Amino acid sequence: MLRPYDAYLVLKGDFYALEYKMHKVPRGFPFNRVSDKQVERLQSAKRAGGQGLLLINCRYQLSEKQMPKDGDGNLLFNGTRLNYVIVLDVDEFVEFKDASAMKSLDLEFQLEQFMNNGIMEREGKYWDIKKIIDCFGDN
């Protein structure tokens, strides 16, 4: 049986097609981790009036050198173990991929997303998808 995406949901009358990825190393997320077929299927959901979203769960430990700092060199947050979700519209992902000279979403971009959106807390062992979708809707 064909699975066009990892999950889908209807929330407040809006359809969301979701593709999940896990990223466990503190460096760029390779664009090739999302296949052309996955992109095509998420874009198809958008053409039909829904949303096509890529959710990247970043789970890694940063070295002190990799930690974001303010202009005075102070760490912007405590702790080096991060566990957060980046939410990208499929077209936004394609734009990054097409415009990038690199082959990945760089670590700086990932941490910028973390700083802008904060930590998405899990409910027990699962993520609260409604909170993640709500965060996406606020951007």
Write the DSSP string, 16-32: EEEEEEEE-SSS-EEGG
Q: Is the pLDDT of residue 16 over 90?
A: yes
Q: Which domains does the chain have, with CATH numbers?
A: 7-138 (3.40.1350.10)
Where helices occur in the chain by DSSP H, the ranges are 36-47, 90-99, 107-117, 129-138
User: Which SS3 state, helix, strand or coil, does residue 67 take?
Assistant: coil
Q: Left (φ > 0), alpha (ψ -120 to 50) or beta: where does 59 sit?
A: beta
Pair type for strands 14-23 and 51-61: parallel
pLDDT digits (tens, 9 = 90+) for 39-64: 999 999 999 999 999 988 888 777 77
Tell me the average pLDDT across 1-15.
Answer: 84
Q: Is the pLDDT of residue 120 over 70?
A: no
